[in-house]
Each structure stands twice: as structure tokens, then as C-alpha cells.
Amino acid sequence: MDTTTEMMKAMPMPNDMGMDMMLMQKAIDATSMSMQACVMCSDAMGGMDGMGSCASRCAMCADVCMTTMRMMMRPAGMDRMAMIAMLEACIAMTAACTAECRTHADMSAACAMCADACEATNAACSAMLASMTAAAA
């Protein structure tokens, strides 16, 4: 097991969160990867003609992924409803970024990799959100 996983297991968690720490670790890893892929894609697309929308969407997605990741890394101070809202925002933003980058994936390896990373993040955040809502039921 890696150091981050060990740290996550040792973190204090409020009782009402209902979070699966392994799902959270997967979501942290996925949001980190998406943040990196989105920054690189935004940079690559920023200088290309007609790719301003893609570059902008990727930049916004990178910011949302980074914020979501940082919130998950601070479980002791988490507010359940704020975390749910952040996961929902990350799911929506990664879906939008995936859709945009998929339209350019055939002409850009950066877009293809960004779309793949965003899909993985979408799935990881969706799984975490589902576990939180199931625990509350």
C-alpha cells in the first residue's frame, strides 16, 4: 500500500460523512490525474486556431478537479453537503470536458488523454457520491 493510502486510513473522519476511504482515495487519484491532463490539454489547445473553447473548458475542469481533490484530502473538516455539492460539480465539469475533448480526440493526443482522464474521474467521483448517498439512506 502506498503512503497516501496509509495516510487516508489514519485520517479522522466525521461520523456523519458515510465515506468509503478506498473510494475516496480512488477519487483523489483520479481528480489529480484529470487536473494534470486538463492543464496540459488547455496549454496545448490554447495556441491552436479555433480551440479556445476547448482550452477554456479544460482550464475550468482543472480548477474544479483540483478543488475537489483538495477537499477530499481534508476529511476531518468536511461538511457532508458541501462535499456532495463539490462531487456533483466535478461530475458535471468532467462530463462537459470529456464531451468537448472527444470532439477533438482524433486530431489531438492531448484531447484524447484528457477525455480519458476526465471519464475516469467522472466514474470515481460518481462512485464516491453514490456511496455517500447510500450511507445517508
Owning domain of residue 42: 29-136
User: Would residue 126 count as lying in a domain?
Assistant: yes
- Amino acid (1-letter code) at residue 74: R
The answer to whether 53 and 29 have CB atoms below 8 angstroms apart is: no
Per residue in 72-118, pLDDT tens?
A: 988 878 888 999 999 999 999 999 999 999 999 999 999 999 999 99
User: Would residue 22 count as lying in a domain?
Assistant: no
How many domains in the chain? 1
User: Would residue 94 count as lying in a domain?
Assistant: yes
User: Would residue 64 count as lying in a domain?
Assistant: yes
User: Would residue 4 count as lying in a domain?
Assistant: no
CA 29 to chain centre: 8
Give the predicted TM-score (pTM) of the model: 0.89
The three grid cell numbers given for residue 93, joined into one nine-digit string: 465539469
User: Would residue 85 count as lying in a domain?
Assistant: yes
